Structure 1
């Protein structure tokens, strides 16, 4: 059962479990008995206790009333009420060209921001791209993600990313940028490193999700995006919102970003003001090319 949870979820729930244990010990309650007033003031507490005590905790009228009161006393709203325009970033990184004449750091930042925008995937997913799972063909580059990620589940397809050759404007072509990155890093890449993205300084090793997030934020900042308000994860908001504005169907957006067919995550948390999966990147890139 513990293996079904990610490390981040376990760390989040750990606080709740400790508080619940202290509460039960102090009041003489059975740790595994939810009779009486349930404990918790935040939604993560409810989720943790629901896993331990059963789903009836979340549906208990007293818990629901408690959380409603917490919301009124200390409202919690989505992190972003609006999002930035990907065209601004694409216009800026188009000046970083030719790719093979860029510094290692600038080429890396260009690649990660194009990957983030053209796939709408999480940084975690980008950090797990392996060389052996990259397939180059005349129309573009296919990338299979075979590692367990946040959305992995039994019976659910793993992400398959597609980067088109954006021949209308090679300056922001994600497939060409990836090819050039592979060429530039070929000689310095350690034999034991199978990850696509590697660090920009010696000794070269696989780039962590934290490093990729930092590069994305730097690219955003250099493009004029307010990184005090928008983090690396905001690329998912920007890309999916731009796709929606361009008329892409909700089903296509869900598939591209890794949400299930019935997921309401996009509508609730990601769709902000400002296809088939293979066309998703093309449509996002077209937003940037319109200024040229």
Structure 2
């Protein structure tokens, strides 16, 4: 049952459950059995400390692991609705940046063979994030053994490892990176080729694509990759006080949509199901300063 949780969810729930156990200990309650009023009192205490809706909802979800169906009580649902109305969840931004800003900056980092490993690492990762619209977690799982050149026109990458959206009967990510001959300086496939070549003698037995550009050149975490992307955005002129590394998904999918890419292609490329409404609700943003294939629609903005 614990294996049903991802590592990040486990860490998040762990702190919530510790808070619940401490609360029950102080009030002499059985932490494995609790009435609805006790649960609401616990969540109210978290609310009064200034917690937002998402934090309180995380505590509620964590408690459901211990207490089961009691969390489905209408009174708790009413309480959570009240929390939402008092402290509504708001998106960090209702607009996104133009990928052309970042692409033009990366175009200046050329030719790839002359770049040091630090710059080439960040350029390769940021291009991948833009032309695939996948999460950093997904990109951190790319392995050399799953990269192949299927034709002179593209590189394909299989990612069999479990990701955030993995579930029974769902498809794993299959990334397709074009050799973008119109602007080779921002070609993601050429970047990967040069990156693999430059790290070949450094990676030892590491099969993961992205490794540290500092010794001992070991596999890097998704948090480190997020820092790489954020650094690139900042150097490009994107306001990183507002936009995080994850905003590449917003920027890429919104741009593809405005370029006329079919919504089904956008969903498939970014890893959403055919019936998912996530893009329409959260990712379809207006672009500040305002093709048939997703990656090329992003790269074409630089022409």
TM-score by length of 1: 0.90
Q: Once the 2 structures are TM-superposed, how far is the Cα of residue 150 of structure 1 from its aligned partner? A: 1.3
**How many pairs are equivalent?**
285
TM-score by length of 2: 0.87
- Structure 2's unaligned 5+ residue stretches are 48-55
Mapped partners of 1:55, 1:86: distance in 2: 45
Instruction: For residues 45-96 of structure 1, give each alpha carbon's deviation from its aligned partner in whole angstroms, at most 9, with x where no partner exists.
Output: 2222233333562x43322221222223333211222111111111111111
Q: Report the counterpart of residue 52 of structure 1 in structure 2.
A: 66
Is 1:72 aligned with 2:85?
yes
Q: Once the 2 structures are TM-superposed, how far is the Cα of residue 210 of structure 1 from its aligned partner? A: 2.2
Q: Report the counterpart of residue 180 of structure 1 in structure 2.
A: 194
Q: Per the alignment, do residues 192 and 70 of structure 1 end up closer, same or farther by CA in structure 2, a change over 3 Å counting?
A: same
Is 1:252 aligned with 2:265?
yes
The CA RMSD measured in Å over matched residues stands at 2.0
Return the match for 1:231 from 244, 268, 282: 244
Matches within 5 A, 1:69-148: 69-136=82-149, 137-148=151-162
Mapped partners of 2:127, 2:246: distance in 1: 13
Q: Which moved more, 1:232-241 or 1:203-212?
A: 203-212
Mapped partners of 1:36, 1:134: distance in 2: 52
Q: Per the alignment, do residues 256 and 32 of structure 1 end up closer, same or farther by CA in structure 2, a change over 3 Å counting?
A: same
Mapped partners of 1:139, 1:77: distance in 2: 42
Q: Once the 2 structures are TM-superposed, how far is the Cα of residue 218 of structure 1 from its aligned partner? A: 1.2
Q: Which moved more, 1:115-124 or 1:263-272?
A: 263-272
- Structure 1's unaligned 5+ residue stretches are none
Q: Report the counterpart of residue 2 of structure 2 in structure 1.
A: 2
Is 1:17 aligned with 2:17?
yes
Mapped partners of 1:261, 1:35: distance in 2: 40
